[in-house]
Chain A
Amino acid sequence: MVRAYFPLLLLFGFVALNAGLILAIGALTVRSRPTPVKSQPYESGIAPLGDARERFSVKFYMVAMLFIIFDIETVFMIPWGVAFRQLSCAVALTPAGCPAGQVSFFGLSEMLVFIGILLVGFAYVWKKGALQWD
């Protein structure tokens, strides 16, 4: 059982060795001659206009948070979709599909409940004005 993980150990070792090697070659061979232009975050493109650490509106967080909620909804729907055929059948599926008279609405109703709960939250944030930008 432990032996099965040996390739993983090899990979870790190789990655560590490789990273160390690259850093070591750089430290040994490179001569450092910094100029203001070289020290900029990007050596090409437009010159930076100001500090990157700016304050920005809290509204972005709100949008990001709401996005994650509905993103997660999709994440849950994909495995549900994969298992949907089995979930819609009260007995084990046969190669021909679900035996006659065994179709169940279990899978469908479970997902409808889940979406319904999310819709309650959606209605709440909408009414509360969280989707309004101004």
Chain B
Amino acid sequence: MFGKKGLGIVETKSFEFAQKPHELVLESGRKLGPITLAYETYGELDSERSNAVLACHAISGDAHAAGLHPGDKDPGWWDSMIGPGKAFDTNKYFVICSNVIGGCKGSTGPSFANPKTGKPYALDFPMITIADMVHAQRHLIDHLGIDQLLCVAGGSMGGMQVLQWVASYPERVRAAIPIATALKHSPQQIAFDEVGRQAIMADPDWREGGYYGHSQPEKGLAVARMIGHITYMSDKSMEEKFSRRLREKNYSFKFISDFEVEGYLRYRGDNFVRRFDANSYLYITKAMDYFDVSGDKLIGSGETVGARFLVIAFHSDWLYPLYQSQEIVRQLKMRQVDATYCEIQSTYGHDAFLLEVEEETHLIKHFLDKTYQGYDVRSHDA
């Protein structure tokens, strides 16, 4: 994007843990194991193991955050931010990204074979939470021999994982960068997720989740994704991108996609169906809805954490509005946590966290550099 060279070809690795009888005990009380986590790493871990950055992905993301897979023409989902000379500079930092549990991109999820039956879990897969995702990541970080992460960063659901890391493992995080996220899902956010889930579950092809071996509930999943995409954009960005432009010269006076915006949403929906598992969509959206580290749950009252925070939010993001990031900042102020907060001007809506690369790079690069090198100015006693 800035004429910088990317990472080139990268590969996804996998890590297995939680073998019987050491299954992961989930927040629901149920157990999950064995667990496979798909992950990628970029850059080199330094000799003190002090330069590790964990990037956390959003709802539809995966372990492939940056670089290219052989034969692909599009790089990973955060390639604009991760690579040599980029915000998360792989010449300096060792960047890790793993697919969340419950996902469908190589980590254990509902499409994985249930060891008890040898068949895909489907709805026998236990309900998972953001905390469960983070506990699983912690096993990977242990496996990689890293005591303390230089930084945990991510947007949207990735930002929830960042906050959860601080709530669950405060001593293992030196810097936290939650972007376009919230301490808890609002009723509006839960409502959009529920509409998406209902679209999937209303599709007869869903078969109570047991569609493996058949075609998946494509119609329902596509509709869920279309709703998602509407919430990721803004009124203004849609006006700029599509306006009322038609695909053909005139109205068809039929129920086909007359408008470009309709075609775009259908294209996005159809595309998503080819790369995402419908049950994973159900489980992951539910995990986001259950997420709540508001009040004392992020940092206990009377306590504080040593981690520095960089909180980033975007104007025009109406799915995760500014007030939700301001609420994060309010909690940090009350706990006297070293924090920086920036509201970036953008018309992209929630998608801004993947698109406003220049502004985010500027903030993150300096913030991370000062955290890593040690900084000569402080806002709090170390």
Q: Do A and B bind each other?
A: no
What residues of chain A have their CB less than 8 Å away from a CB belonging to chain B?
none
What residues of chain B have their CB less than 8 Å away from a CB belonging to chain A?
none
